Amino acid sequence: MSTMLAIILTGVLVSSACALLGCFLVLRRMAMLADAISHAVLPGLVAGYFIANGPNILAGFLGAAAAGLITVLLVELLKNTRRIGGESAIGIVFPAMFALGTFLVSRYFTNVHLDADAVLYGNIEFVNFDRWFIGSTDMGPQALWVMGGLCVLNGLFVALFYKELKLATFDAGLAAALGFSPVLIHYALMGVVSVTTVGAFTAVGAILVVALMIVPAATAYLLTDRLPLMLGIAVLCGSLAAVLGFWVALALDASVAGSIAVMTGVLFGLALLWSPTHGLIAKQRRRARQRLHFARQTLLVHLLHHEAASNAAAENSVQHLSGELRWTPELARRVVETALRAGLIEQDAELLRLTAVGREQAQANLQTRALFTSAAVA
Amino acid sequence: MKLLLELFTDYTLRNVALGAALLGIVSGVLGCFAVLRRQGLLGDALSHAALPGICVAFVLTGSKAPLVLLAGAGLAGWVGTLLINRIVRDTRISEDSALGIVLSTFFGLGIVLLTWISKHNNANQAGLDRYLFGQAATLVASNVVTMAVLGGVALLVVLLLYKEFKLLTFDPAFAASLGFNTNRLSIGLTTLIVVAVVIGLQTVGVVLMAAMLIGPAVAARQWTNRLSMMIALAGLIGALAGVSGALISVSDHHLPTGPMIILSLTVLVLVSLFFAPARGLAWAWLRQRRQRRAMRAGRWQSKLKQGGQS
């Protein structure tokens, strides 16, 4: 397998594994807990190193995963004392864990290749050199197997406990009432997040794991209201970012993990601006449309109010509107134009008159207003 | 004792200790507002977001002068804050996700720039990545002066706007109804936090900065219910953690300063949590045990009887 293909495939597997779990983290508002877990990896690795008395993948893996869970546990403990807010608890625990890790490394392992840089950066570039052998058979890049395994594990976790996860995420109270323990689900999710973080950090580094967990999921959250679709879009976004990020890194000769994270950000930015339902531009448009709609209704009521009066000719002229209703001439022109097109009013030189349809709507508006006022008074 | 004497005579140690103390005071004071407004992790996101700013400042100016790099860091941190605010205000994405998004993508950009600079720029980039973990040991007198000036300005602003910030922290709706521009005040407060982060980058680095803001405030909160007292205590605790971390790291040359500061701070937080009068967990636990024992001894029955007779 070529080096390039190995890197891209690893990237896609890492981001898919992360994105699946990320959706639940984003929905449960626990994104920063993933950040905390990713920092706790360092002391866990050191502990694994201690226990195995040397570099041992399994010991490191278990140590780091345990450290992740301990972080979650400590955060919960601190939160439950009610002396500290949830976000402050996170902000105290993970720097302490990370500092502890750095301290242990510099105290006991100054000569060992276990520097904090590697934890933060990862080295997906060298994926193809670290191969897995069974006996003397070369099975291919080790990271590929690890991440493939994690992808399967996370996929199974989400598929098997889909109902429970969904229920506990959207209505923890109901979940508890129905006999599913939200606490158990919380720790199960956190356990899987820990294991995934540990597996992924060798490839993309601790902080970029956070990018892959949170950003594609948040992107998907802007694009859909349905959980299954959100999971799918998140995986797609993560994989796309992995592929794009690889090519950008190749072109710039820069860190692959870093540019994958940047690409997740770029995709998020696109969704933030142009999502048809939750994007900023769509929101702006919707607001403008509503403003115009409201202005049109105001115009109808205004015309109705003055149509029987003796000065109707003066009151109901186009020029008068901007003065009376404090509209800019531009807005007045657009309101009249759309109302004319909708057949709500008709224009006779400068004079505006309601059509039958327009009058009906104006009266309906007045009735609605009366309803609201009486409700407000009551 | 010898160590304490060196504190005043040894040039490096004096700089490191002074720098760490300054950072502790400034981040302690500003952290109080951040923690009380439940924005403790904002500092974490800002410090990570500052990394690409440092790199861009270096690429544009080619200078490694701390002031230039820190200006870039401040600007990037500020952009990050505005983005977080915008995402939280205009979409349904929750605040912690917004923090995570800005933190991780900005940091990714920073790493891309760092690696790009190291391969494409002829100038020696070594030293840029020291902002990742901080290298208090490399602080020189001019760095400390820069930190003192920046921190002094930030503290002065807090002093001048104390009343407004207090109001904003405890009752933003009331502040708005009094005619204060809460949006502008909020941005001002966040800008000051950016200044604290910028000061901390050189000393404790990107990763550990969150604790420098949150730790002193949380510890101080356990001892008092008054904001003014809490701020003073947080400054003190921050300074204490800074100096003791610096001393410990100097006593053994293998120990990095930043992590040692954070570990001392963690110890102070734990001591405060357990043993602060009134709020201390240890007292609460003792109280509970005493009551439970009283229950078991059956004394409550006699008390009930007495109550019934009288």
Q: pLDDT of B178-202, one tens digit each? A: 999 998 999 899 999 999 998 888 8
Q: Which tokens is B248 given?
A: 């410990």
Structure confidence at residue B5 (pLDDT): 67
Contacts of A215 in chain B (CB under 8 A): 100-101, 104-105
Contacts of B210 in chain A (CB under 8 A): 91, 94-95
Structure confidence at residue A69 (pLDDT): 92
Cα distance between residue B36 and residue B163, in whole Å: 15
pLDDT at B268 over 80: yes
Shortest alpha-carbon distance between residue A211 and chain B (Å): 5
Residues B188 and B300 in one domain: no
Contacts of B125 in chain A (CB under 8 A): none
Residue B303: give the domain boundaries.
280-310
Residues B170 and B290 in one domain: no
CB within 8 Å: A103 and B279 = no
CB within 8 Å: A100 and B132 = no
Across A171-180, B93-102, B248-257, the highest mean pLDDT is recorded for: B93-102
Residues A155 and A297 in one domain: no
CB within 8 Å: A87 and B41 = yes
CB within 8 Å: A268 and B113 = no
pLDDT at B119 over 90: no
Least confidently predicted of A106-120, A221-235, A297-311: A106-120
CB within 8 Å: A268 and B105 = yes
pLDDT, mean of residues B62-77: 87
Residues B177 and B152 in one domain: yes
How many domains is chain B partitioned into structurally? 2
CB within 8 Å: A265 and B101 = yes
CATH number of the domain where residue A43 is located: 1.10.3470.10
Contacts of A253 in chain B (CB under 8 A): 115-116, 119-120
- For A86, the closest chain B residue by CA position comes to B38
Residues A102 and A217 in one domain: yes
pLDDT, mean of residues A297-316: 80
Q: Decide if B243 contacts B22 (C-beta within 8 A).
A: no
pLDDT at A135 over 80: no
Question: CB-CB: which of B115, B211, B258 is closest to A91?
Answer: B211
Residues A219 and A297 in one domain: no
Cα distance between residue B36 and residue B221, in whole Å: 9
Residues A268 and A341 in one domain: no
Residues A66 and A35 in one domain: yes
A13 contacts: CB under 8 Å, gap ≥ 6: A144, A147, A148, A150, A151
Chain segment A236-281, per-residue pLDDT in tens: 999 999 999 999 999 998 888 899 999 999 999 999 999 998 999 9
Which of B38, B95, B112, B135 should we substitute to test contact with A (largest number of A Cβ atoms within 10 Å)?
B112
- For A108, the closest chain B residue by CA position comes to B254
Contacts of B27 in chain A (CB under 8 A): none
Residues B52 and B199 in one domain: yes
Residue A309: give the domain boundaries.
282-377
Last residue of a domain, one of A241, A275, A309: A275
CB within 8 Å: B92 and A278 = yes
Cα distance between residue A160 and residue A233, in whole Å: 20
pLDDT at B124 over 70: no
Higher pLDDT pick, B211 / A131: B211
Residues B128 and B225 in one domain: yes
CB within 8 Å: A84 and B259 = no
Residues B192 and B258 in one domain: yes
Residues B237 and B152 in one domain: yes
Q: Which tokens is B113 given?
A: 């720039």
Residues B232 and B305 in one domain: no
Residues A227 and A298 in one domain: no
Higher pLDDT pick, A142 / A8: A8
Closest to B244 measured CA to CA, from B41, B16, B38: B16
Residues B274 and B233 in one domain: yes
Residues shown for chain A:
378
Shortest alpha-carbon distance between residue B303 and chain A (Å): 31
CB within 8 Å: A35 and B103 = yes
SS (H, E, C) chain B: CHHHHHHHHCHHHHHHHHHHHHHHHHHHHHHHHHHHCCCCCHHHHHHHHHHHHHHHHHHHHCCCCHHHHHHHHHHHHHHHHHHHHHHHHHCCCCHHHHHHHHHHHHHHHHHHHHHHHHHHCCCCCCCCCHHHHCCHHHCCHHHHHHHHHHHHHHHHHHHHCHHHHHHHHHCHHHHHHCCCCHHHHHHHHHHHHHHHHHHHHHHCHHHHHHHHHHHHHHHHHCCCCCHHHHHHHHHHHHHHHHHHHHHHHHHCCCCCHHHHHHHHHHHHHHHHHHHCCCCCHHHHHHHHHHHHHHHHCCHHHHHHHHHHHC
Shortest alpha-carbon distance between residue B3 and chain A (Å): 20
- For B279, the closest chain A residue by CA position comes to A83
Cα distance between residue B154 and residue B150, in whole Å: 6
Residues A195 and A322 in one domain: no
Shortest alpha-carbon distance between residue B305 and chain A (Å): 35
B139 contacts: CB under 8 Å, gap ≥ 6: B15, B16, B19, B202, B203
Structure confidence at residue A77 (pLDDT): 93
Contacts of B254 in chain A (CB under 8 A): 106-107, 110
CATH number of the domain where residue A293 is located: 1.10.10.10
pLDDT at B299 over 70: no
Chain segment A203-221, per-residue pLDDT in tens: 777 777 899 999 999 999 9
Structure confidence at residue B4 (pLDDT): 66
Q: Decide if A102 contacts A116 (C-beta within 8 A).
A: yes
Count how many pairs of residues, chain A against chain B, have C-beta atoms within 8 Å.
Answer: 207
Contacts of B279 in chain A (CB under 8 A): 83
Which of A23, A41, A87 should we substitute to test contact with B (largest number of B Cβ atoms within 10 Å)?
A87
CB within 8 Å: B110 and A258 = yes
Cα distance between residue A246 and residue A253, in whole Å: 10
CB within 8 Å: B256 and A103 = yes
pLDDT at B310 over 60: no
Residues B249 and B300 in one domain: no
- For B268, the closest chain A residue by CA position comes to A92
Structure confidence at residue A118 (pLDDT): 62
CATH number of the domain where residue B257 is located: 1.10.3470.10
How many domains is chain A partitioned into structurally? 2
Residues A11 and A58 in one domain: yes
Shortest alpha-carbon distance between residue A68 and chain B (Å): 17
Beta bridge partners of B301: none
| Calculated CA dihedral for residues B172, B174, B177, B183, nearest 10 degrees | -10
Question: CB-CB: which of A87, A205, A272 is closest to B38?
Answer: A87
Last residue of a domain, one of A214, A244, A275: A275
Cα distance between residue A70 and residue A40, in whole Å: 9
End-to-end CA distance of chain A: 75
Residues A128 and A234 in one domain: yes
Residues A240 and A299 in one domain: no
Shortest alpha-carbon distance between residue A1 and chain B (Å): 26
Question: CB-CB: which of A78, A87, A98 is closest to B207?
Answer: A98
CB within 8 Å: B99 and A31 = yes
Residues A177 and A314 in one domain: no
Query: Which pLDDT band, with edges at 50, 70 and 90, does B125 fall under?
Result: low
Residues A137 and A156 in one domain: yes
Across A43-47, A228-232, B59-63, the highest mean pLDDT is recorded for: A228-232
Contacts of A285 in chain B (CB under 8 A): none
Structure confidence at residue A102 (pLDDT): 85
Q: Decide if A296 contacts A335 (C-beta within 8 A).
A: yes
Contacts of A252 in chain B (CB under 8 A): 112, 116
Compute the mean pLDDT over every residue in chain A, rounded to the nearest whole number: 87
- For A241, the closest chain B residue by CA position comes to B105
Chain segment B198-217, per-residue pLDDT in tens: 888 888 888 889 999 999 99
Classified as helix, coil or strand, A231 is helix
The amino acid at residue B116 is W
Question: CB-CB: which of A88, A106, A253 is closest to B214?
Answer: A88
Chain segment A172-203, per-residue pLDDT in tens: 889 889 988 888 999 999 999 999 988 887 77
Query: Which pLDDT band, with edges at 50, 70 and 90, does A89 fall under?
Result: very high
Last residue of a domain, one of A238, A254, A275: A275
